Amino acid sequence: KDQVFQPSTVASSEGAVVEIFCNHSVSNAYNFFWYLHFPGCAPRLLVKGSKPSQQGRYNMTYERFSSSLLILQVREADAAVYYCAGCPGNNRKLIWGLGTSLAVNP
């Protein structure tokens, strides 16, 4: 069964680099996606791809069966839920992890 695994919680201090790790057993996964979700808002894409990439303070690492999201200079306002998702082959569905809740200490 295609699955994506990520930690349920991660804690960090303001100004640090925080890493959220994700690994999967998604068959023929070509792409990883990292989404940010604040309660009450629409989840939105941070970074995606089939190779390491960066969007502003967000870096994505990429291996065949894993990916990490690195948030540079983390702020209290970054406290939210971060979802990792993989796309199996040419299937339109994404396989989602359960989300990682990030806590940022001042």
Residue span binding another protein (CB under 8 A) among the ranges 19-27, 62-70, 72-80, 91-99: 91-99
61 binds another protein (CB under 8 A): no
Region near another protein per CB under 8 A, out of 11-19, 48-56, 57-65, 71-79? 48-56
Q: What residues between 11 and 30 interact with another protein by CB under 8 A?
A: 30
Please check whether residue 82 is in contact with residue 69, taking contact to mean a CB–CB distance below 8 angstroms. yes
Residues whose CB is less than 8 angstroms from the CB of residue 21 and which lie 6 or more positions away in sequence, other chains included:
6, 7, 66, 67, 68
Residue 67: name the closest of 17, 105, 33, 106 by CA: 33
For another protein, the binding residue among 51, 64, 92, 106 (CB under 8 A) is 92
Amino acid identity for residue 46 in this structure = L
* Interface residues toward another protein, by CB under 8 A: 8, 30-31, 33, 40-45, 48-50, 83, 87, 89-90, 92-94, 96-99
